[in-house]
Amino acid sequence: MANAEMMKQIAEKNGFIAALDQSGGSTPGALRLYGVADSAYSGEAEMFAAMHAMRVRIMTAPAFAGAKVLAAILFERTMDGEAEGQAVPTFLWKTRGVVPFLKVDKGLEEARDGVRMMKPMPGLPALLDRAVARAIFGTKMRSVIDLASPSGVAAIVAQQFDVALDIAARGLVPIIEPEISIKSPEKARAEALLRDAILARLEAWPSTVRVMLKLTIPDAPDFYAPLIAHAKVARVVALSGGYTRADACRRLAANHGMIASFSRALVESLRESMSDREFDAALAKAIDEIFQASTVKVASAAA
């Protein structure tokens, strides 16, 4: 059963979720954005070591704490690593007051029927057992919708909820992330299909189990209000999806009850070459801006 104190923080407290879960193919790009060139490391082990050093620098910064950062989504290697001599999930919750989540998907299939489904996860049961042993609160898994295909969207939602049932059975809280590409020429239509498909699946979802949703910020403000208000949904969070932090925050501020779960928009101003003072100040500024957009909403705004 999910930790009650963590659930209260996730469901009720003001703040946002930091997505620190870049993995595999997205890691080199994240390191380049941070100012670490491909030539700075050799092989996968050194690459992930550089990525872990960046994440630890973020997690140990003074501003990265539960007062504004409710939770952090971790990559599997980050979950297995340490920060200040402690297992990362323990450090986050016990030292920083930040709830730990784990990314569990293994990437995306090739595009078909306007969507990119999650790859098979044969190792998921063992990974969930490890997550429970490390006091992880919940999980996150991502798939992508490129076009407004009714059958494609239905398949994405069915896959997400089917896997979420297995995750919830382990006592973990699943974050379902059917991302709609911000480059989609049919984004608004896809949003309508997605909202209706999720609402239909929620009707059949066990009443004793709550899920979370991580969604692309909609074109129409408050479009996902029925999902935010749903009794079986603990929280609806927004991905930045390639928007700059300024644009993502502006769009998010128009969506009441929706909080951020940003990745690139959180770290876009951070550089490896910064002094600790410069780094901490840049991260604090980013956290303040994202917290503001997550908690202070505008009456109306054009997205």
The dihedral region occupied by 244, where left means phi > 0, alpha psi between -120 and 50, and beta the remainder, is: beta
Q: What angle separates helix 150-169 from helix 124-133, to the nearest 10 degrees? A: 50
Residues whose CB falls within 8 Å of the CB of residue 196, separated by 6 or more in sequence, listed in order = none
Strand 16-20 versus strand 69-74 pairing type: parallel
Name the catalytic one among 68, 103, 140, 177. Answer: 177
For residue 187, indicate whether it is catalytic. Answer: no
For residue 94, indicate whether it is catalytic. Answer: no
Residue 88 buriedness (CB in 10 A; 0-12 / 13-18 / 19+): buried
Name the catalytic one among 140, 187, 214, 297. Answer: 214
Q: Kindly state the DSSP code that residue 172 receives in the 8-state scheme.
A: -
* 194 contacts 153 by C-beta, under 8 angstroms: yes
* 71 contacts 3 by C-beta, under 8 angstroms: no
Closest CA to 302 of 248, 186, 221, 238: 221
| CB environment 24-59: b (16+ within 10 A), e (fewer) | eeebbebbebbebeeeebeeeeebbebbbebbbbbb
- The catalytic residues are 177, 214
